[in-house]
Amino acid sequence: MRLYGLLILALALMSGAAPDSPPQVICLLPFAGITPAQTKAVEQAVAAFYGLPVAVLPPEELPASALCPVRRRPRAAVVLDSLHARFPSTPQARTKVLALTTEDIELEDPPQKPHWGVFGLANRVGGNECIASTFRLGPGRTDRLIKVCLHELGHTLHLPHCTSASASCLMRDAGGKVATVDAEKEYLCEACRAKLRW
C-alpha cells in the first residue's frame, strides 16, 4: 500500500502535476501505414510543446466499422467513438488519445459538404480523443502533420478555434487549406494559451 502510494506520487511528479493530482498522459496511436519516423517526430513535438508525457502505443489497423461505403474512406467521428470506448479517462489516470493515419478521413455529414475530407478531428473541445491524417498534407510533410496534431490536441485541451488576429496561432481553423497550416507556427497566441487546461 505504501509502495503503491509512492508510485502514484512518482508518476504525478513525472507528469509535472501537483502530487495529489492523478497522472496525465497523452497516448499516441499510429494506425497502419504511419512510419516509425513519423510517430517519433510527433511524439517528440507533442511532449516538447505541451510539456506532457507521451506514451506510444503499438501500431494497429483502423477499425473496419469506420469505413464509409460512399467514398470508401474512414469516418473520423466513428474512429474517435471507438477510441473513446477503449480509453476511458478515469480518476486514476487521465488520458488523451491522439491517433495518426495515412488514410483520407472524412466528416460524413457536415451541411453543404457531405463526405468532406479533413486533416484531423477532435471529438469535441475538452474531449479526450483526436486524430490526424497525413493524406492531404503532401508527401514528407511531417512539419504539417505535427501542426495538425498540436491543433487537434489543443481542442482536447479545451481550446476552440482561435478568433484572434494572429495568423500564426495553431488554433486557427485551417478550413481544409494547407496554406493555413503553413502560415501557422508551432505557437499559441496569448488568448489561446490562457484557455489551455487538461
Residues lying near Zn ion in the complex (CB under 5 A) are found at 162, 164, 169, 171, 189, 192
Rounded least distance, CB 179 to Zn ion, Å: 16
Q: Which is nearer to Zn ion, 76 or 192 (CB)?
A: 192
Q: Which is nearer to Zn ion, 11 or 151 (CB)?
A: 151
Rounded least distance, CB 176 to Zn ion, Å: 11
Q: Which is nearer to Zn ion, 157 or 171 (CB)?
A: 171
Rounded least distance, CB 38 to Zn ion, Å: 20
Contact between 168 and 192 under an 8 Å Cβ cutoff? The reply is no
User: Cell for 116?
Assistant: 468532406
Q: Which is nearer to Zn ion, 137 or 192 (CB)?
A: 192
Rounded least distance, CB 35 to Zn ion, Å: 25
